[in-house]
């Protein structure tokens, strides 16, 4: 039995729990603001610290998982996530929230995300976009399911109990899911896609032609290439706008007088749409080109940030949630797959981890700057407009580099 789909399932479940907990932060926003009498920029900083750490630490967890089995790195991350959520549930000051969210949730997801996604890339070649999309759809479904659940727990009990439930889920379900992950098919005596390359096993049903140098580049080699830095810059720019809804959607909706339930519904709609986007965009990109799809996704993100800036009604916000969710889902599905297309899978977890540091910068800066802009201007128009412009530049940047197969063939020439 081909074990690759079990790896996808383990990654899916771990990411469902991890990012469901992380992206439910907006449901806690007003509770934390009231509990600690803090400004929006101060509360936004909680999420930004966690997001900065869980994206930037991929640069450490990725290389580690390239050397040892990714399951242990990912399981350790899920354990830390649970400890961090428990810490937050017991916090008595904003400083303790910063520490618990940063050191627990930030470090925990940082040691789970890149290893899980990197492992999936090694198990697939032909269906890499689809498999990657399926794995990261856990993020989308987690975003759809967990914020409404957290909102309900807050209403039924309180915000501390809600975080305690999330902590137990991470410690039990998250660790168990991580233990399903296997770093590579070679560890199980299997091949990518479950099919032996031509000449390896006589009588194989289908043969995957061997591409010279298909193992790919090391991290130092990738760092010396133009595509790495173009993708890095594009990821940073696109992530500025991507970061904002997960912190500011709930207060934005409440400012319009639409109610907390509407805010939770918008987050749920984003999560559902992003799940569909990961499947549809990932599968379509396998057929029509993952680089081209990434350009289109960034154009879509530019549109949605601009649309959100002028939205004042439920139907406008619903349209934003659907289109943004679809584009965001495609973005998350394609980013690791495009990285593997350019640089191969030899050091894929390390390279993905290095790429994620771009998102860490944006995820730290985006929500805090949006919160500060609101504190000063009482409006989100400026940060959302800047997010739209940044995503447009990201699309143009990716347009400037060659297709992966063309670039790899040219760079392999003496």
Per-residue pLDDT reduced to its tens digit, 200-213: 443 333 333 334 34
Domain ranges, residue 61: 4-193+218-412
Domain presence at residue 212: no
pLDDT for the residue 192: 78
Q: What angle do CA 84, 86, 88 make, to 5 degrees?
A: 70
Domain presence at residue 35: yes
Domain presence at residue 313: yes
CATH no. for residue 256? 1.20.1250.20
Domain presence at residue 289: yes
Check residues 235 and 249 and name the one with the higher pLDDT: 235
Rounded to the nearest 10 degrees, what angle do helices 40-56 and 25-36 cross at? 130
| Per-residue pLDDT tens over the stretch 335-356 | 888 888 888 877 877 888 888 8
- What distance in Å separates the CA atoms of residue 223 and residue 413, rounded to the nearest whole number? 19
Residue 6: both structure tokens together: 């079990």
Which segments of 344-402 does DSSP mark as H helices, in order? 348-377, 381-399
Percent of the residues in the chain that have a pLDDT greater than 90, as a whole number: 29
Domain presence at residue 213: no
Domain presence at residue 322: yes
Counting the structural domains of the chain, the total is 1
Check residues 204 and 103 and name the one with the higher pLDDT: 103
Mean pLDDT of 161-167: 94
Domain presence at residue 205: no
């Amino acid at each position: 039995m081909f074990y690759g789909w079990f790896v996808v399932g383990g990654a899916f479940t771990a990411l469902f729990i991890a990012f469901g907990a992380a992206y439910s932060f907006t449901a806690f926003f007003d509770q934390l603001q009231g509990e600690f009498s803090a400004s929006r920029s101060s509360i936004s900083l909680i999420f930004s610290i966690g997001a900065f750490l869980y994206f930037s630490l991929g640069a450490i967890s990725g290389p580690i998982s390239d050397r040892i089995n990714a399951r242990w790195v990912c399981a350790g991350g899920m354990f830390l996530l649970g400890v961090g959520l428990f810490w937050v549930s017991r916090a008595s000051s904003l400083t303790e929230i910063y520490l618990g969210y940063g050191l627990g949730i930030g470090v925990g997801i940082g040691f789970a995300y890149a290893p899980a996604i990197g492992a999936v890339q090694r198990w697939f070649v032909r269906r890499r976009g689809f498999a990657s999309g399926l794995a990261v759809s856990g993020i989308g479904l987690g975003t759809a399911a967990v914020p409404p659940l957290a909102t309900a727990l807050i209403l039924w009990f309180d915000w501390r109990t809600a975080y305690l439930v999330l902590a137990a889920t991470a410690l039990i379900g998250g660790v168990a899911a991580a233990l399903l992950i296997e770093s590579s098919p070679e560890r199980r005596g299997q091949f990518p896609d479950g099919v032996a390359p031509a000449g390896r096993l006589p009588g194989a049903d289908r043969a995957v032609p061997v591409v010279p140098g298909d193992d790919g580049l090391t991290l130092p080699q990738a760092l010396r290439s133009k595509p790495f830095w173009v993708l890095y810059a594009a990821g940073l720019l696109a992530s500025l706008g991507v970061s904002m809804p997960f912190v500011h959607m709930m207060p934005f909706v409440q400012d319009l007088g639409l109610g907390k339930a509407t805010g939770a519904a918008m987050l749920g709609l984003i999560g559902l749409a992003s799940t569909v986007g990961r499947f549809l965009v990932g599968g379509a990109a396998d057929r029509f080109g993952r680089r081209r799809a990434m350009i289109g996704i960034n154009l879509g993100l530019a549109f949605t940030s601009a649309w959100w800036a002028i939205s004042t009604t439920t139907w406008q916000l619903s349209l934003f949630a659907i289109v943004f969710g679809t584009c965001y889902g495609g973005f998350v599905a394609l980013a690791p797959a495009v990285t593997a297309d350019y640089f191969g899978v030899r050091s894929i977890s390390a390279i993905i981890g290095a790429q994620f540091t771009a998102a860490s910068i944006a995820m730290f800066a985006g929500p805090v700057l949006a919160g500060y802009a609101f504190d000063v201007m009482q409006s989100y128009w400026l940060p959302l407009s800047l997010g739209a412009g940044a995503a447009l530049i990201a699309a143009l940047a990716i347009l400037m580099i060659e297709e992966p197969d063309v670039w790899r063939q040219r760079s392999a020439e003496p």
